[in-house]
Structure 1
Amino acid sequence: MAMAAAEIEALIVGGIPDAQVEITDLAGDGDHYAARVTAESFRGVSRIKQHQAVYAALGGRMGGVLHALQLTTAIPE
């Protein structure tokens, strides 16, 4: 079962309210996405903790409903 890009975005923003999220469907199949998540709340936080925050926002869907996510996190410039 594929997951819609809008649903991924909504979950991330729900968990990280100040996030700006860009989702790209890499294969056109609804299973392989890239996400760029930019948030001020990431400032001073390690990249590992940033990624963990995104995965937590996805609520355990990684590896199940959401097959693959290429993740990039950043702070606003």
Structure 2
Amino acid sequence: MQAEQIKALIESQIPDSQVQVGINGSHIDLVVVSPAFAGLTPVKKQQLVLGTLAQQFADGTIHAVDFVKTFTPEQWQQQQ
């Protein structure tokens, strides 16, 4: 699966999200910024992101995601 396909899939399922996808061989890294993360625990944020890829995990299109970094827009601004 291509980075743009993963990006589009996540952005279509998480409201107002901005996604960065890094692929190095079979390793996938994600950075997702969305106001939908406000008030969620880190585990819930990760579950929300990985849930958007459930079908791809199930059919083997995606084997694993190495890391998921999640931010609200405010947290993202502080990181920059």
Give the TM-score normalised by the residue count of structure 2.
0.78
The CA deviation string for residues 12-65 of structure 1, in whole angstroms up to 9 with x for no partner, is: 01110211101111x2x2x21100001111000111111111112113323721
More helix by share: 2
Instruction: Quote the offset at 1:6 in angstroms.
Output: 0.7
Residue of structure 2 aligned with 1:36, choices 31, 35, 54: 31
Equivalent residues, number? 72
One-letter identity of the residue aligned with 1:57: T
Question: Does 2:50 align with 1:55?
Answer: yes
Please list every run of 5 or more consecutive structure 2 residues that lacks an aligned counterpart in the other structure: 75-80
Q: Separation in 1 of the partners of 2:2 and 2:15?
A: 19
Runs of 5+ unmatched residues, structure 1 = none
Cα-Cα RMSD: 1.5
CA contact (8 A) 2:15 2:36 kept: no
Q: Percent identity?
A: 35
Moved over 4 A (4+): none
